[in-house]
Amino acid sequence: MGILLNMSFHIPFWPLALVIGLAWAAPVLLSLFRITKVPTVIAEIILGYILGHFMLDHITSESMKILDFLALAGFIFLMFLSGLEINVDQITASLPRKKLSLASFLKNPLLVGISHFLLALILSYISTLVLAQIIDIPNLWYFSLIMVTTSVGIILPVLKNRGEIAGHYGQMIIIAAAVADIFSIILFSFTAFTLKHGFKIELLYIFVLFFALYIFTIVGRRLKQIPIFKKMGYQFSHSALQIRVRGTILVILGFVVIAQFIGEEEVLLGAFLSGLLLSSFMHKERSLLIVKMDGMGFGFFIPIFFIMVGMKFDTSAFAEFDSSIIWFLAALLVILFTVKIIPSMIWSRIFGFRRALAGGFLMSSRLSLIIAASAIGLEMNVITEGINASFILMAVVTCLISPIIFNALNPGNILSGSKTIIVGGSSTAVLLARRLHVHGKKSIIIEKNIDRFRDIQNKGLNAILENGCQEAVYREIHLSANNYVVLECGSDEDNLIVGKMLRKQFQHENIISRSQSKTIEKQLQLINVDTIDERRVLATTIENLILRPNTYHNLVESFDNYSVEEIQVINSEVDGKQIREIPFHSEAILMMIKSGESLSIPHGDTYLRKGDIIHVFGTNAAMEATHLMVE
């Protein structure tokens, strides 16, 4: 109690309460007004501007210091989560493993991503020279670095909502954005250090951060293999101690402290590398950690950062441009799109001009990194107040219009290509659609009840309001032979009616249904519908929980990071080779090989032949690498 009595409670909490109130109100308002195209952070910046200029214009310096500290913590969290968002497995899976040709170069996401960034950087610097004829730019190089940034945080949700995140097109854009983030942050760190301290030998101190990244990676992977740490991690992670969260905070602060010893401007790089570190060696735990850190970051600290950006946004700073402000902002917006669109034409050889152009517009979206880099530049006096305000405005504009233009140029058609059709909108159907969405697979739910249909749509899932018993519905949604149809009509009798109709009228084969009745199950099997006996599934689940609980829990809990796929071998280069001669991804396990009608368990001396179907278990990155290798 004595400690509590020594605390000071005179600090006013109402400014913080207002900020948190706005952080809560931003997504609520967007949801109430059904404004789905505007990122929440944009609303937070706008509400922060209103708060700072009309409600907190007389805030005390003590309260402002508290808000500034929490905003800085939000900035650090933002950079950490930016690093954690990058899937290191996807990048390493793209490392070239054979002799490069033009065709293999254009298909390699990592090499194309690096080329995209370098072209964008060159165009950005040339464009900066042109802009310098309109306004005074204190440092041309730093200005050009700000323009070359992108936003993985905007790109990922757009591609994921369209079901393109796992495809080759989506992977090209995601890895290009990740490369742009990594290279931009590294160049910002070196540039900021040089601008503040000059080109000295101490510049090499920055490599201490990369050495720390290497050491932490090696030590972390070894600690994970020690049984006592495995046991402690499992015991503590699910208790009130939350040991993994505490360890993550310790890693973040460890990198931030090292970065501060090198230079204050390197905090950006330190926080980012801490996220990259954890992303590199966490797999099944990765999604759970992201959920917890997202809760801390986006639930509290990060909204304060963006609200404070809005609070400190000064429209009077545009006065420094005088009458040239309109021309400058228009030119800046055009250049911000141009420096991303022109390099994206590399993709036109594979995906066509229209999709390459759409990818360029999506890559033009900028948010957290451009705001952070601009704030650091302002603090170092290498950009002016007016330029800083312009970049914040451009972040808002590009985040709003880039996804819209992308969707307009590359309209996603949920009815075309490979998809799963789920007849009936039960809770099981919704869960299945969500799971398929995690794996980047398209699904459509056919639901005849309007209230349930609207509820499914509000969950962000694809649904159509139709009766699944009618033939015309399946013609409208372009049912094709490779589409799976899952019958969840609500009753065994309705499942049987739809199953018979699909088999008779469409000769469709890929039909799955569950059954609680032995009689209905037999009738479904007679028409070659794959049936699921709920009693048998429940008994098997309980059996697994008794006989192999750890294996069962690991498989169920990691479904969003691991999967099983059947991949056909069509690449002539692996035809006739032994398994040991083929450089499979380290996260891929060959479970079985189907050659014709025979099944076998593969060994190192097993030969692969064209036409074989391999059953692979592994991470999404491993699946992508395996597809590229054998297809």
Second CATH level (architecture) for the domain 2-409:
Up-down Bundle (1.20)
**Each residue's pLDDT tens digit, 276-331:** 888 876 654 445 667 778 788 888 888 998 899 889 888 888 888 877 788 889 99
Task: List the one residue out of 198, 212, 191 whose CA is nearest residue 271.
Answer: 212
586 band by pLDDT with thresholds 50, 70 and 90 = low
Second CATH level (architecture) for the domain 561-630:
2-Layer Sandwich (3.30)
What is the distance between the alpha carbons of residues 475 and 215, in angstroms, rounded to a whole number? 58
Whether the Cβ atoms of residue 182 and residue 86 lie closer than 8 Å to each other: yes
Domain 420-541 has CATH 3.40.50.720: yes
Residues facing 617 on adjacent strands: 564, 589
Residues facing 487 on adjacent strands: 423, 513
Is it the case that residue 413 has pLDDT exceeding 70? Answer: no
336 band by pLDDT with thresholds 50, 70 and 90 = very high
Cα separation values, 242 from 232, 279, 284, 560, Å: 11, 18, 17, 22
Percent share of the chain, pLDDT over 90:
14
For strand 588-595 and strand 613-619, is the pairing parallel, antiparallel, or unpaired?
Answer: antiparallel
Q: Which two three-digit tokens encode residue 517? A: 């009745």
Q: Which two three-digit tokens encode residue 612? A: 């074989």
pTM: predicted TM-score of the whole model, two decimal places = 0.67
Domain boundaries, the chain: 2-409, 420-541, 561-630
Cα separation values, 442 from 161, 164, 479, 629, Å: 10, 9, 13, 24
Q: Which of 383-387, 543-547, 551-555, 569-573 has the lowest mean pLDDT?
A: 551-555
Is it the case that residue 333 has pLDDT exceeding 80? Answer: yes
Mean pLDDT confidence for 427-438: 80
What is the distance between the alpha carbons of residues 602 and 531, in angstroms, rounded to a whole number? 29
Cα separation values, 11 from 69, 269, 365, Å: 14, 33, 39
The average confidence (pLDDT) of the chain is 81
